[in-house]
Structure 1
């Protein structure tokens, strides 16, 4: 155990935060990262061309490296850029990834590294994500893996994929599998990336004692039937496209058929349930599904 602890103390961490027009939450996020009981070595923020004063704030924020994009390249593009920058300018062992509305508890990082000290071949470790009422954040529940309970008594659940809301990713995994796919733009980039890490043979765990708050406006999942905003409805095209791609590339024929069936079943649900913009929603579902079979972005690797 002593050797494990010594190894953990040598592990350095760079926090990578992606932000877009959430300056107040970004301030809170950075403050929480800086107050960790186990300090981070570096903080890197990717600003997706915010228009709310984020640029000026980051210029004056000590201990933060900032990358400012000249356009909004989405969360996927932001995380891809941030991780690439991390590999390029830092030698840290781990990249701690989060959105700007992620508020980690004081011991969040320490608990992740405590877990890492007793594990081998770590790809990523995911925190326990809660909403503002302390209930589990619906959009951030990880997918368990086969043998999920092998270390449950230690507060560790083996998982195969998780969201980009406080996950600790090893440098070794990044160098082996490459970057998140920037072309995903939004929705599904974290699922594809963490699943890619799992498929590469790394061990990945949910760490129950590593607590983090996700300050989303509402604690709800993705549901096109309930959407009324046309701009948000458009996101489902991207989401469906990305889901088909991920299943094609990483889960094979059974995965694709299962995902395709979900999309097919969704069409009559939209048609017969009470909701607005039915025909447009059906068009978006079909378009995203079809394009997903031809969508082939190239994975970028870093040295």
Structure 2
């Protein structure tokens, strides 16, 4: 099968996990044509390690001057791939997920035989503006939304629709892209083959530091989605979801005042159209510029 795939890996301060993830990518039964690793200005030795890989195993590295989040880094890699102008697909990977040897081969074989332009390993449908993740045992099915981690996307569609929105920084960028794909008449699928072992290093638990900044970006970026792709059902679902989360935080969270404040600020910044990296996930401090 003469298919050209650009694998995109975004990493930030996860050197040990990145090494394991990369080993799984290099062990694919169907090898990517090129592996583009985007380092989001790591400070744990990742850049030094990546420099030893340059030029080997079809690896190309991009070094960001600041942390642009997953959205900014994926967009950067997609632009690189489009400039190359020779790839059929982009395979977007997470640095804390280990992919089975059959992962890419399965995705390519299935997307080639279907009308889908984006095929993910996890997906959902929208019900009253809310994502309901697919629980069906059906192996291959059409969905409204595909999670970007592990997804295969046709390069021609990216060329036509553009890359992920860099202004999102983190959270909801795949939600917006799925809406954009479907609004342009294309179809999305999910392949439930269990080919990904997700470590979920991005944070767990209900009221953690990670869910503080994630709550802010989720609220802000979902507001962006409402502004970009308004629909009444999406708006109603969004309002219901935000109210539910605000009430839960106000009643149950030990840091209720900060948590409610961050989510409300996310909504306000979304209304005002303030994008990019406004809240530092590490320090939980907002950018010094006026927000």
Give yes or no for TM over 0.5.
Answer: yes
Question: Who is 1:71 aligned against?
Answer: 66
Question: Who is 1:124 aligned against?
Answer: 118
Question: 1 CA distance for matches of 2:111 and 2:247?
Answer: 46
Residues 85, 41 of structure 1: alpha-carbon distance in 2 compared, 3 angstrom cutoff: same
Could you tell me whether the CA contact under 8 Å between 1:161 and 1:198 is conserved in 2? no
Residue 251 (structure 1) shift: 4.7
Question: Who is 1:135 aligned against?
Answer: none
Question: 2 CA distance for matches of 1:212 and 1:234?
Answer: 26
Question: 2 CA distance for matches of 1:248 and 1:26?
Answer: 36
Could you tell which deviates more after superposition, 264-273 or 15-24?
264-273
Q: How do residues 5-84 of structure 1 correspond to structure 2 at under 5 angstroms? A: 9-61=1-53, 62=56, 63-84=58-79
Counterpart secondary structure, 1:293:
helix
Runs of 5+ unmatched residues, structure 2: 128-135, 277-291
Question: Who is 1:247 aligned against?
Answer: 226
Residue 294 (structure 1) shift: 2.9
Residues 240, 292 of structure 1: alpha-carbon distance in 2 compared, 3 angstrom cutoff: same
Counterpart secondary structure, 1:51:
coil
Which of 221, 224, 239 is the equivalent residue of 1:260?
239
Residue 15 (structure 1) shift: 0.2
2:161 is equivalent to residue 177 of structure 1: yes
Q: Tell me the C-alpha RMSD between the 2 structures.
A: 2.5
Counterpart secondary structure, 1:110:
helix
TM-score w.r.t. length of structure 1: 0.80
Residues 17, 166 of structure 1: alpha-carbon distance in 2 compared, 3 angstrom cutoff: same
Question: 1 CA distance for matches of 2:96 and 2:259?
Answer: 28
Residue 183 (structure 1) shift: 1.3
Question: Who is 1:292 aligned against?
Answer: 270
2:125 is equivalent to residue 144 of structure 1: yes
Could you tell me whether the CA contact under 8 Å between 1:267 and 1:285 is conserved in 2? yes
Could you tell me whether the CA contact under 8 Å between 1:158 and 1:206 is conserved in 2? yes
Runs of 5+ unmatched residues, structure 1: 1-8, 128-140, 147-151, 299-303
Residue 101 (structure 1) shift: 1.1
Question: 2 CA distance for matches of 1:82 and 1:218?
Answer: 21
Counterpart secondary structure, 1:10:
coil
Could you tell me whether the CA contact under 8 Å between 1:181 and 1:297 is conserved in 2? no
Question: Who is 1:280 aligned against?
Answer: 258
Question: 2 CA distance for matches of 1:244 and 1:52?
Answer: 34
Question: Who is 1:157 aligned against?
Answer: 141
User: How many pairs are equivalent?
Assistant: 266
Could you tell me whether the CA contact under 8 Å between 1:248 and 1:255 is conserved in 2? no
2:215 is equivalent to residue 236 of structure 1: yes
Question: 1 CA distance for matches of 2:90 and 2:191?
Answer: 16
Question: 1 CA distance for matches of 2:137 and 2:238?
Answer: 33
Question: Who is 2:132 aligned against?
Answer: none
Cα deviation 1:275-295 (Å, max 9, x = unaligned): 222112111122212322232
Residue 218 (structure 1) shift: 7.8
Residues 158, 296 of structure 1: alpha-carbon distance in 2 compared, 3 angstrom cutoff: farther
TM-score w.r.t. length of structure 2: 0.83
